[in-house]
Amino acid sequence: LNIAVLAGDGIGPEVIEQALKVVNAIGKKYNHEINLTHALTGAVAIDATGNPYPDETHEVCMQADAVLFGAIGHPRFDNDPSAKVRPEQGLLAMRKKLGLYANIRPTLVFPSLLHKSPLRRELIENADFVCIRELTGGIYFGDKGRNETRDKAWDVCEYTKPEVDRIVRLAYEYAMKRRKKVCIVDKANVLETSRLWREVAQGIEKEYPEVETEYLFVDAAAMRIIQWPEGFDVMVTENMFGDILTDEASVISGSMGLMPSASIGTHTSVFEPIHGSYPQAAGKNIANPLGTVLSAAMMFEYAFKLMDEANEIKDIVNKSLAEGVVTVDIADGGKAFSTSEVGDWLA
């Protein structure tokens, strides 16, 4: 199993270290040869090479069966969004060059953490849905610019039928393995790109008669996520809407530090926790490694199709929660373990 490891910035290296302990332990137990190749990305890559996603890193990813990713971003770039070179550009370049067209984010609810949710318990107890976000198109990658006097700016949102087809199909395939419900989120009452999405989806819908399809405007979806999260099974949407809605959805579980994600690509796939670089905690050995560990579980499932290994990782995470071997963010007044202690325990 050839894994590219991109630890990145902030707490990235610390949480990745714990996930690798678990990956290696699983490799030993199930007799897999695990080959790890580390490479630079994010602010650390800018410092070392001037480029947040260096060609060398790209080569490492292209050679790998999967990429395990920590986080990128550094506060020194935060108040200067027009800085010429920024860590986020590395992320976007990676997505585009690896063809990471589908970002998959499960919204998982952990019973012992329900009280951490901002939502009332009865609304989320049975929430279990997946957001699938298109990740290489839309307004992120369209033409953008300024006029000569720089007092007018534009960004173009663009989609082609094959781009939409690919991801909507993935959503339906996903739903077939779950509760067979797809919710397509768009703004077809205003946007031409959304009308294209809806046209394509209405075609694919017919191929999956067993699946219940719903079309929801993005503003209504933003409300529904809070009002009735249990109503969703698989949600699929375009890049910008997905950016907003997946972050909104990640909050309702109350367990953001535990949330994994997978980005499925045409060349390889990337697995990363959703929590970001969390610079305030960097270097303190307090960050929650469980989101990264669960991302490694998704890697075994999606990239390696090794379900036993994936399930064993999920089980040990649940056990760490049940036994209170957790970091300070979820220790709830109980003993808080350090990042590395949790990693050691899991491994």
Ligand X SMILES: CC(C)[C@H](C(=O)O)[C@@H](O)C(=O)O
Annotated catalytic residues are 140, 187, 219, 243, 247
Rounded distance between C-alpha atoms, residue 84 and residue 161, angstroms:
33
Does 319 engage in binding with a second copy (CB under 8 A)?
A: no
Backbone φ and ψ for 132, nearest 5 degrees, come out as -115, 115
Shorter beta-carbon distance to a second copy: residue 240 or 331: 240
The encoded tokens of residue 262 equal 């997978």
Does 336 engage in binding with a second copy (CB under 8 A)?
A: no
Beta bridge partners of 71: 8
| Residue keyed to tokens 């929801």 | 216
Nearest in space to 56 (alpha carbons), one of 94, 89, 18: 94
Length of the chain: 347
Does 91 engage in binding with ligand X (CB under 6 A)?
A: yes
Quick note: the x/- pattern for a second copy over 84-123, rule CB under 8 A, is --x-x---x-------------------------xxx--x
Nearest in space to 140 (alpha carbons), one of 239, 236, 52, 51: 239
Cβ atoms < 10 Å from Cβ of 21: 20
Among 45, 72, 132, 252, binds a second copy (CB under 8 A): 252
Does 76 engage in binding with a second copy (CB under 8 A)?
A: no
Does 192 engage in binding with ligand X (CB under 6 A)?
A: no
CB 292, CB 273: distance < 8 Å: yes
Quick note: the x/- pattern for a second copy over 156-175, rule CB under 8 A, is xxxxxxx-------------
Residue ranges at the known binding site for substrate: 95, 105, 133, 219
Binding site for a second copy (CB under 8 A): 79, 81-82, 86, 88, 92, 118-120, 123, 139-140, 142, 144-146, 151-162, 187-196, 198-199, 215, 218-220, 222-223, 225-227, 240-241, 243-248, 250-252
